[in-house]
Chain A
């Protein structure tokens, strides 16, 4: 907003408290600039009527009249000549100081000093003349420049009702210019801030408008008591009384016929200016004529002007002065006559003047206010967060306006900003605190509170907490961009909100993770699944989107919500694979599993450092000769407190957290050390197989590292087991790696043949040296069928000239059968369980003697 500087200014004390808005009767006269700490209210002089109500209205002394006294004194000191026009109120308010100040100013070079009270007499005479010419007129007094400004700018319909007579100040200026022929620039001194506007209309040479208090401030260091002067021109009647409340009536009543009435009406006293029709009605009410309607701009007249500091302290001076004036004038012989005599005397006093010189015209400066479309107001209310009728009627006044509607209008017109509405700011803070900004549904913080409230409100209801995770969400972002991902999140949030509306709570707690709390009922799970299933089609992405749901049945609502979320999350984590919607209920075993995993993870590094992992070896025997022909190295964990921990308890965790790489490397080192030691002891070595994990298989340097490790061992003593399922990860890369390992002289064994879904294809593609059949996968519940299958596999492997080791053999019958079909190398409990290295070394020493 373009803000033209005017006669009232906002200084640096302004902190945007809005008090000025509260007292200002004109919308748009105060413009809010900036927000937050930089917020301040500037005066828009184009709309301001310079009533000055904002000056005492401001609690921070941030509003003040522009002080021109410095420039005036400077020019005076430079030798420029001025004449002064003193407001009649000065004599009432500053009766004691005034003559001395005037004396000082005269000493500085002021030529003439005129009291506007003389203009008051002229004004009385001009008004009298008007009413003599228009005896039935009912008019609005035009003596207060604020009221005239108000009517010219905002109430053009009242323009014809204004009394076309100049104000006392204008009368004086006219007289001085036309009759005294004083061409010097005029300087007004008085409490009125609106004088500049008043004289702008005419061709008056008004140089400065000063307030006496500001002038006295500048003259603090001066001993103006050394000076003294009277004015050159003053009222000879009651012109001084124009400065007090009812002064107009008091003046005119002495010269007008008894049936002439002056009606006093409130103007700017309240927060609102009265409807102009009220004034129009007042002009015609009771058909009283002639009538002058005096609309007050201040409660007690000019002596009550906002620019006067500590005016209450001066009431005594005012009362005394008024009393003195009345005594002086009213005791005059002519004032004991009737009004006609007084009128004649007044007319005689000004007989040489032309009444037409003191007539006044007015300017229509009204600009029609832009009509605010209803939808604009609606948008602003919504932007302010006022979405309900009640919220639009809070009318707290904190913004400075009486109603929320006024504030919204001010925002629409650019006079204020949404951020300055306290309720908007509160709502925004609340939104940031409680809402997930992307989706608009509650955040975790709000979810906890709302869920607590839900439990409180419905203590008998059983609830289930659902942890919802969008499968492969990262891929959506990677393939389609974050904008697409955000759309999905919003859609899911919408669905979550819809599902829980009225009966539960929901939140987005991070990324693609949501939580819902719903009544636990048989219907809810299918409802959730159906709802989510149904709406995935709406995403229109060429990518399957699905959800994992972890559910936790809440049995104790006193439990921390965070724990409930953790349980539901745990259940969700157990879901693996599948692009369809999957769900899992939490059970205690999951917690137990989690605790185990947590313990393993906590202990694993220490275990490695303290060599708690031990190499166990399970022998392999040729069932035909019962000779020891090889072994598989297996890991066992001897924990100092817990004792022996089986691989099933820690291997899955190590594979999850990639610790398996370190452990396998440790194991290989240990195996090579053992074999080197046996070799040094002269023991007959047999090939020992070690596992290669899937992660390790794709490390570029693997062949070289293994080669270095096994360099001191006879060739092909260290065998490498690769699980069949590793083939699915990256077949081409795996084949290349196997060939590289074989090139280094390693024998590669396919472990767990038959455990995968495409074993034959794997066999076809993987260039392994040995195949290990795991009877756990191949021996189903139908023994006859299993035999047939085994026989076929054994036959096939023989034809492929692939040596076979049968693993997991537990009985003689199994061993005999396998040997019969050509699988004569046996590993299993039939011959021996995995044993410590020392025990195996003893076996080697005994050359693998059969038990």
Chain B
């Protein structure tokens, strides 16, 4: 597999596209691009036209990452060849993406389904933000991919405006939609690495009352959720909202932990999160870990799985990006990724999706390369 990478901060869209894609082949198979939201539609059209024969997938991003660094403005684009892929769209993701399940199965059929494994294939998704439909999308994909081992991962497009972000496929900006792409390396390896910069505090609770659809947790272990959390953190209840940002909750699934950021602490003692929580699931209270140490482990883990990394897609949570900006480490973060991964393209996302879980405060790295013998 081969990859090319480019970026441009030129204001004029066509010139920016020309600059960013200067070294790209004429006919790549797949083009990914991220840009700020204002010019996103224009970039969508321009890239769709330029690479009419390719699958062109884009998303708006509050901050994009690439070997060129972290940027709030500009076009970041990558082109890939040497892989098999199939793309499609799920629409009405805020209410009924299952209606479009057929698009997934149809796309899957264009690859050789019997040769697709968890090691050489993944389904990468980009959702238009603000739909609250990410979990419905994951449900749809879970149903469509039942019986396969194909992992799903991705993120939701972002912009500086809260919970707004656009996605596009092949020159069309899509509303209330998810673009999905099956990436398959017949001879290679695709590895998905999940990074949590939060670690359990050692306290776990059972969700005993939750509103699944509206993502509200009313009770933990039979008591008001806010009371339980504030006691676990040894805080007065009034202090919980301020502390919530650094103490998200994590849904425990076997050995895995899927972080869920707290959106609000409500008057009735419930908490609203950014992710769905079913009743009787276990929740862990989390605290911030050593970011640098965690990142080092993450990148090392990628290299443990791949003999060679050819290209990576990075999905980094909006809240993490803001945190890194505040800490002044955002550019170091981008550089570290480049130093370890080489060619990569990164998106700031409103929520990350991995397997069947919508997560927050998470980073996902999808790396394509050569398997270890």
Contact = CB atoms under 8 A, between A and B. Distances in A.
Which applies to chain B's interface (DSSP): helix, strand, loop or mixed? mixed
A380 B279 contact: yes
Interface string B205-240: 010111111101010000000000000000000000
A411 interface: yes
A783 interface: no
Given A368-B136, A417-B209, A376 B278 contact: yes
Contacts of B138: 371
Interface stretch (B94-102, B110-118, B168-176, B310-318): B94-102
B278 A373 contact: yes
A601 B278 CA distance: 63
A588 B123 CA distance: 77
Interface in B87-109: 95-99
A494 to B, nearest CB: 22
A411 B278 CA distance: 9
Contacts of A411: 279-280
A379 B218 CA distance: 19
Interface string A407-437: 0000111100110000000000000000000
Interface string B16-39: 000000000000000000000000
Interface residues of B, number: 29
Contacts of A372: 278
Given A368-B136, A370-B213, A375-B253, A412 B98 contact: no
Contacts of B356: 371, 373
A839 interface: no
Contact of B280 (A364, A366, A368, A412): A412
A800 interface: no
Given A368-B139, A379-B280, A1 B96 contact: no
B49 interface: no
B202 to A, nearest CB: 13
A368 B97 contact: yes
Given A413-B212, A417-B209, A366 B278 contact: no
A74 to B, nearest CB: 32
Nearest to B133: A368
Contacts of A413: 212-213, 278-279
B142 interface: yes
Interface string B240-280: 00000000000001000000000000000000000010111
Contacts of B136: 368, 370
Contact of A414 (B95, B142, B206, B210): B210
A370 B212 contact: yes
Contacts of A414: 209-212, 218, 279
A383 interface: yes
B143 interface: yes
A471 B356 CA distance: 51
Contact of B211 (A2, A368, A383, A417): A2
B251 to A, nearest CB: 10
B14 interface: no
B148 interface: no
A367 interface: yes
**Which residue, B98, B214, B218, B278, has most C-beta atoms of chain A within 10 A?**
B278
**Which residue, B96, B138, B276, B279, has most C-beta atoms of chain A within 10 A?**
B279
Nearest to B93: A368
B187 interface: no
B96 A367 contact: yes
B135 interface: yes
Nearest to A413: B212
A372 B210 CA distance: 14
Interface in A355-396: 364, 366-368, 370-373, 375-376, 379-380, 383
B304 interface: no
B97 A412 contact: no
A156 B97 CA distance: 12
Contacts of B95: 364, 366-368
A367 B213 contact: yes
Contact of B281 (A156, A364, A379, A418): A379
Contacts of B98: 368
A366 B143 CA distance: 18
Interface in A141-162: 156
Contacts of A418: 280
Contacts of A383: 206, 280
**Which residue, A367, A371, A412, has most C-beta atoms of chain B within 10 A?**
A371
A418 B135 CA distance: 25
A370 B211 CA distance: 11
A368 B142 CA distance: 14
Nearest to A372: B278
Contacts of A376: 278, 280-281
A3 to B, nearest CB: 10
Given A368-B97, A371-B139, A1 B279 contact: no
A412 B213 CA distance: 11
Interface string A1-38: 11000000000000000000000000000000000000
A413 B214 CA distance: 11
Nearest to A370: B212
A372 B253 CA distance: 14
Interface in A125-170: 156
A376 B281 CA distance: 7
Contacts of B279: 380, 411-414
Contacts of A366: 95-96
Nearest to B356: A373
Contacts of A1: 209, 211, 218
Contacts of B208: 417
Given A2-B211, A156-B96, A414-B212, A370 B135 contact: yes
Nearest to A46: B213
Interface in B3-23: none
A588 B155 CA distance: 78
A412 B278 CA distance: 5
Nearest to B208: A417
Nearest to B94: A367
A418 B221 CA distance: 12
Contacts of A364: 95-96
B218 A370 contact: no
**Which residue, A367, A414, A417, has most C-beta atoms of chain B within 10 A?**
A414
Interface in B62-95: 95
B142 A371 contact: yes
Interface string A431-449: 0000000000000000000
B96 A368 contact: yes
A368 B212 CA distance: 12
Nearest to A375: B253
B372 to A, nearest CB: 30
B341 to A, nearest CB: 31
Interface in B163-212: 206, 208-212
A156 B96 CA distance: 9
Contacts of B99: 156
A371 B152 CA distance: 15
Interface in B129-148: 135-136, 138-140, 142-143
Interface string A569-596: 0000000000000000000000000000
B78 to A, nearest CB: 32
A363 to B, nearest CB: 11
17 contacts: A1-B218, A2-B211, A367-B95, A368-B95, A368-B140, A370-B135, A370-B139, A370-B276, A371-B139, A371-B143, A372-B278, A375-B253, A379-B280, A383-B280, A412-B280, A413-B212, A414-B212
Interface of A: 1-2, 156, 364, 366-368, 370-373, 375-376, 379-380, 383, 411-414, 417-418
Counting from the closest, the 7 A-B pairs by CB-CB distance are A371-B139, A376-B278, A380-B280, A368-B136, A368-B96, A379-B280, A413-B212
Given A366-B96, A370-B213, A413-B278, 14 more contacts: A1-B211, A367-B213, A368-B98, A368-B136, A370-B136, A370-B278, A371-B143, A373-B278, A375-B253, A376-B281, A380-B280, A411-B280, A414-B209, A414-B211
